[in-house]
C-alpha cells in the first residue's frame, strides 16, 4: 500500500519533514535518538551490552560510559583499550565510526555524585534517557568497607542521578 507521501506503509517507511528513514523494530525505535548512560561498561557484561546496543540499535544517539581513571590511563586511553576488544570486531567491520557514539565520562561509582565533575553531572541530567547500572565489585569475599560504598552506595548514587534526569525513560540496575 502506498500512502499520499508515496511511501510504502508495508515497509514501514516514514517521513519527518524532509528526512526519510526506515522504521525499525519496536526495540530499535525505543532507542532511536536516545542517550544511554552505562556504568561498568568496561566489564564483562558492560562490553557485551554496549556492543549489542550499537550493533542492533544504529539510531541510538550516544552512550555515556562512566570510567574511572585507572593504572594512570586517561579516559580516552581506556576508551581505545575498550574498543580494541574483539567483541567489537563485527562493528569495526560494519560501522567503523561506531566509537564516535561512545563518550567516556570520568567518575567513580563508590564516590558521592559518582565522582563526576559538576558540569558532567549536570550534562548527564539533561541528556540521559536510559540508565544501565552494571558497575560493581563482584568479588564474593570483597572487604566490607569496599563492597558497601560500591555496591550499595553506588546504586544509591545512580538512583539519585536517575531522579535528577529531566528526560529519563528507563533505568535498570543489576
- Site residues, ligand NAP (CB under 6 A): 39-46, 66, 68, 70, 108-110, 134-138, 150, 174
Minimum Å gap between C-beta 121 and ligand NAP is: 14
Judged by beta carbon, residue 70 or residue 84, the one nearer ligand NAP is 70
Minimum Å gap between C-beta 31 and ligand NAP is: 20
β-strand partners of 64: 37, 103
Judged by beta carbon, residue 51 or residue 108, the one nearer ligand NAP is 108
Q: Which helix (H) or strand (E) holds 67?
A: strand 62-67
Minimum Å gap between C-beta 167 and ligand NAP is: 23
Judged by beta carbon, residue 15 or residue 146, the one nearer ligand NAP is 146
For 157, the grid coordinates are 548514587
For 94, the grid coordinates are 560494519
Judged by beta carbon, residue 79 or residue 101, the one nearer ligand NAP is 79
For 10, the grid coordinates are 508495508
Minimum Å gap between C-beta 51 and ligand NAP is: 13
Whole-number Å distance between alpha carbons of 42 and 70:
11
Whole-number Å distance between alpha carbons of 124 and 35:
9
First to last CA, the chain: 44
Amino acid at each position: 500500500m502506498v500512502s499520499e507521501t508515496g511511501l510504502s506503509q508495508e515497509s514501514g517507511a516514514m517521513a519527518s519533514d524532509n528526512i526519510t528513514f526506515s522504521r525499525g523494530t519496536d526495540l530499535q525505535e525505543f532507542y532511536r535518538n536516545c542517550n544511554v548512560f552505562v556504568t561498568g561498561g568496561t566489564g564483562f557484561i558492560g562490553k557485551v551490552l554496549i556492543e549489542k546496543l550499537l550493533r542492533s540499535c544504529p539510531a541510538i544517539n550516544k552512550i555515556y560510559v562512566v570510567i574511572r581513571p585507572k593504572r594512570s590511563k586517561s579516559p580516552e586511553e581506556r576508551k581505545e583499550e575498550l574498543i580494541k576488544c574483539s567483541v567489537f570486531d563485527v562493528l569495526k567491520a560494519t560501522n567503523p565510526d561506531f566509537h564516535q557514539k561512545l563518550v567516556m565520562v570520568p567518575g567513580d561509582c563508590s564516590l558521592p555524585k559518582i565522582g563526576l565533575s559538576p558540569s558532567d553531572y549536570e550534562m548527564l541530567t539533561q541528556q540521559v534517557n536510559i540508565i544501565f547500572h552494571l558497575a560493581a565489585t563482584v568479588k564474593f569475599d570483597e572487604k566490607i568497607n569496599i563492597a558497601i560504598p560500591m555496591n550499595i552506595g553506588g546504586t544509591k548514587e545512580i538512583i539519585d542521578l536517575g531522579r535528577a534526569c529531566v528526560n529519563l525513560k528507563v533505568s535498570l540496575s543489576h
